[in-house]
Chain A
Amino acid sequence: MDESRYRDKSYLVTYDLTTDIFDGFGVEVIDIIPIRSVYMLYTDKGVKILKRINYPLDELKFINSVVNSIKKDGYDFVVPFMETPNGQYYVKQGEGIYVMLDMIEGREVDFRNVFDIQSAAKALCMLHKSTRGVSDILDTRNNLYKWVDTFKRRIDDLYKFKEIAELHEIKSSFDDIYLSYFDSYFDEARESVKALEDSSYIKLCDEAKENTNICHHDLAYHNILMDSENNIHFVDFDYCIADIRLHDIANLIVKSIKHYRWDIDKALLIIQNYSEIDEITKEELEVLYGFLLFPHDFYEVSRQYYMKTKKWDESDFSSKIGRKAGYYEDRKEFLKNFRLKLI
């Protein structure tokens, strides 16, 4: 087996795996298998996932209340943390806090499959509707009203990265690609802020503050599972935040199309199917456009490179930014069509 299968092994070694943890959850473990950054456990109570959380306890409490509230309010296809025999939902062991979840039997959705996309979009809408009852939003998990400031800060970062790249006497291939695309992406980032400032963004935040909306905030294909009866399960709420629903919708759109030539039809399909449950309004579409306009991917890989937040090789970085720069034209065409068709 190649090492990439264990690419999160550095995180796995932080697990303090003792039978105390299993006792704490009241399960008898028959077999343990490491998968990515978690363990899959075969237990006397079925197949479980054991996860060591890497955020503070108050955030875990928030996530727990979000998931339980969603389930209570009618969206059944989320996985609550398993209760321990003494009524808790986590076990402390050494320095770590551990949670256990049921393993969902289903397949990961495939963004090439229109049926999967349709189902995921409808389910996302139902999920959002079920988050209305969440109360006590944690400050650190509240992203309402923050988009414009965040984007402005990131625009400053993009400029700083440009200065760093220019300072390099011998430029890396990452620097070269970054500098050659800087002007175009920088303009898009500024346009994005302007589009948001001219939109109903604040009004939508006011409404979301009133009614509460929680975004899953990590809608990768492996966090959206379809079971044998075609129900969509959302898993891993580790990154969930209070925000307007467009944050998730935008993420679902981008994740569904960025590797598949930025196909506008797929974006329309997502909007249409989501709207079948609860309509995305015209003013929401303008805000969505503003969000999509910001070059999130380009910013993220540049931040990881210039702020050294990831320990990848130079060649990994180059190929990453190369890929993102490679779809520049497709993305531009997509944004043009989005504006023409929806705004």
Chain B
Amino acid sequence: MDILIEKDDLLYKKIIEEYELNIKYIKYVKESSSLYIDTGKKVFLLENIDDTINHVISTAGIYEHLNNKGFYNLLRIYKTKNGKYYMLYDKKIYILLDYEHHKLDLSKYPDKAIRLLGRFHKKAVGYLPPSGGKCKSNWGKWIEKYIKESKLLKKYMNEVLNKEEKTEFEDIFLSECHMYIDRMDKAIEILKNNNYVQAIEDSMKRHQLCICDFKQSNLYIKDKKIYIKSLDKCKYDIVEKDIADFLEEMLKASPEMKLEELVRLISLYEKENKLSKNSVNIISAFIIYPSSYEKVCSRYYKGKDKWDDKEYISKLNEARLFDNKKMELFICLNYKK
């Protein structure tokens, strides 16, 4: 049953006061603190943001920066009557957006999507947060994360090797872990040999922002144009990581797509935003890294989930299949060169 808000509710009054909306119908969106608002003329989403105010101010700054640079493929964020992009009520932060229900089938629009990513990166250069805003960064994160994870997985492998009685999961893990650990080390080696540090330095000089969530679920299509729903996960980073993540997303969204076609998307990207000579190598390092496999294994040895061995094995098999597909893409990327 929908949970409606009464007119004498303080939140209701606050919304009217801040946004001057003529509300005809308002209810909580299922299982969230966000609100669906219908004015009769337009439908809005008042989204409850679970983050710090500094982050919200920065996200609004990104929205404005992109608009000023002529990038309009974004879900609109409305200002309050005082010109702010957020409203505070009862220790909660809200932003008002168009209510957007359109979805995108990425498998149908890979070319449009990659070009949008290229345009986004081009326009997202030079972003500096407004007063009170804080923008996070991933500069330097990936190699550090990979080295740490590879070390921990090796440690776990040795522990399992020394165990007298192994679980079924551990038997499967041991039979193949060397191969995946080799891939992890290969990714680290490629990053080290291909001026990952230089790429970070260049990105820092340009204040390059990445979207960090260029996924089907964060995109929608309307009037044949693709739009980005949320800028919430934007961080400073190198563009190669966004591109690699997008290729992985395409592998999921369009498993039947030929790998050569995926590789071709990189040259389409370059029609919008030029890459450096090491970019494809850096992308390939992100691709060869078996992140799905690592995730399942680390969750297992940290005992993070209450799954039984059978569920873990099923997750491990899914991860292996996906990471093996990524390995094929890695080979294809290198063959292309």
Which of the four size classes fits the interface of chain B? 20 to 34
- In the assembled complex, the CB of A226 is this many whole angstroms from the nearest CB of chain B, namely 9
Residues in A with CB closer than 8 Å to B84 are 31
Q: Are A113 and B139 in contact (CB under 8 A)?
A: yes
Task: Assess the B148–A260 pair: CB atoms within 8 A.
Answer: yes
With both beta carbons as reference points, the residue of chain A lying nearest to B94 in the complex is identified as A1
Bound-state Cα–Cα, A112 to B145, Å: 9
Partner of A35, one of B51, B53, B136, B144: B53
Whether a CB of chain A sits under 8 angstroms from the CB of B91 is yes
Is B53 in contact with A114, judged by CB distance below 8 angstroms? no
With A113-B137, A115-B204 already in contact, the answer to whether A105 and B128 are too (CB < 8 A) is yes
Are A110 and B139 interface neighbours, CB within 8 A? Answer: yes
Is A313 interfacial (CB-CB < 8 Å)? no
Q: Quick check: is A6 within 8 A (CB to CB) of the other chain?
A: yes
- Bound Cα distance from A31 to B139, whole angstroms: 33
B52 at the interface (CB under 8 A from A): yes
In the bound complex, residues from chain B placing their C-beta under 8 Å from that of A260 are 144, 148
Q: Tell whether, in the assembled complex, residue B200 and residue A115 are in contact, meaning their CB atoms are under 8 Å apart.
A: yes
B201 interface residue, CB < 8 Å from A?
yes
In the bound complex, CA of A110 to CA of B136 (Å):
9
User: How far is it, in angstroms, between the C-alpha of A176 and the C-alpha of B129 when the chains are bound?
Assistant: 47
Answer whether residue B68 sits at the interface, using C-beta atoms and an 8 A cutoff: no
Beyond A47-B131, A107-B135, A107-B137, is A6–B91 a contact (Cβ under 8 Å)?
yes
A40 CA / B49 CA spacing, docked (Å): 19
Q: Which residues of B contact A105 (CB under 8 A)?
A: 128-129, 131
Q: Is the CB of A115 within 8 A of B54?
A: no
A246 within 8 A of B: no
Most chain A beta-carbon contacts within 10 A, residue among B54, B136, B137: B137
Contact B128–A228 (Cβ < 8 Å) = yes
Cα–Cα distance between A105 and B129 once the two chains are bound (Å): 8
Q: Which residue of B lies closest to A46 (CB)?
A: B131
CB 8 Å contact bits of A250-272 with B (1 = contact, 0 = none): 00000000001100000000000
In the complex, A73 has a CB within 8 A of chain B: no
Interface residues of B in 122-153 (CB under 8 A from A): 128-129, 131-132, 134-137, 139-141, 144-145, 147-148, 151
Distance in angstroms from B170 CB to nearest chain A CB is 20
Nearest chain-B residue to A2 (Cβ)? B50
In the complex the two chains form, what is the Cα distance from A103 to B84 in whole Å? 19
User: Would you call B207 and A228 a contact (CB within 8 A)?
Assistant: yes
From B48, B93, B128, B141, contact of A112 by CB (8 A): B141
Give chain A residues whose Cβ lies under 8 Å from the Cβ of B48. Answer: 1
A107 B140 Cβ-Cβ under 8 A = no
Set of chain B residues within 8 Å of A113, measured between Cβ atoms: 137, 139-141, 200
B184 to chain A, nearest CB (A): 14
Q: How far is the CA of A110 from the CA of B140 in the complex (A)?
A: 8
Contact of B201 among A40, A110, A112, A115 (CB under 8 A): A115
How near does chain A come to B265, taking the closest CB pair, in angstroms? 29
| Chain A: minimal CB distance from B286 (Å) | 16
Residues of A within 8 Å of B53, CB to CB, are: 33, 35, 40
- Is residue A108 within 8 Å, beta carbon to beta carbon, of the partner chain? yes
Contact A116 B140 (CB under 8 A): yes
CA distance A113 to B84 in the complex (A): 33
Cross-chain contact B88 with A110 (CB below 8 angstroms): no
Q: Which residue of A lies closest to B84 (CB)?
A: A31
B204-245 residues with Cβ-Cβ distance < 8 A to A are 204, 207, 236
Which B residues are CB-close (under 8 A) to A341?
Answer: none
Bound-complex Cα distance A66 to B140 (A): 33
Bound Cα distance A40, B55 (Å): 13
B88: which of A33, A42, A108 is its contact (CB, 8 Å)? A33
- Shortest C-beta distance, B191 to chain A (Å), equals 13
| Of the residues B51, B132, B139, B207, contact of A1 by C-beta under 8 Å | B51
Q: Is the CB of B131 within 8 A of A103?
A: yes
CB contacts (< 8 Å) of A35 on chain B: these are 52-54
Interface flags, B232-266, vs A, CB<8A=1, else 0: 00001000000000000000000000000000000
CB distance from B245 to the nearest CB of A (A): 18
CA distance A112 to B151 in the complex (A): 16
Query: Is A311 interfacial (CB-CB < 8 Å)?
Result: no
Within 8 A of A (CB), among B76-91: 84, 88, 91
B residues less than 8 Å from A116 (CB atoms): 139-140
Q: How far is the CA of A230 from the CA of B236 in the complex (A)?
A: 14
Establish whether residues A103 and B147, one from each chain, have CB atoms under 8 Å apart when the complex forms.
no
A168 beta carbon closer than 8 Å to chain B? no
List chain A residues, Cβ under 8 A from B135.
107
16 examples of A-B residue contacts, CB within 8 angstroms: A1-B50, A1-B92, A1-B93, A5-B51, A33-B88, A40-B53, A40-B54, A103-B131, A107-B137, A112-B139, A112-B140, A112-B141, A113-B141, A114-B197, A230-B204, A260-B144
Residues of B whose CB lies within 8 Å of any CB of A are 48-54, 84, 88, 91-93, 128-129, 131-132, 134-137, 139-141, 144-145, 147-148, 151, 197, 200-201, 204, 207, 236
In the complex, given contacts A1-B48, A113-B200, what are 5 additional A-B residue pairs having Cβ atoms less than 8 angstroms apart?
A: A1-B93, A46-B131, A110-B139, A113-B141, A228-B128
- Which 10 pairs of residues, A with B, have the shortest CB-CB distance? A113-B140, A47-B131, A112-B140, A112-B144, A113-B139, A228-B128, A1-B92, A33-B53, A112-B141, A47-B132
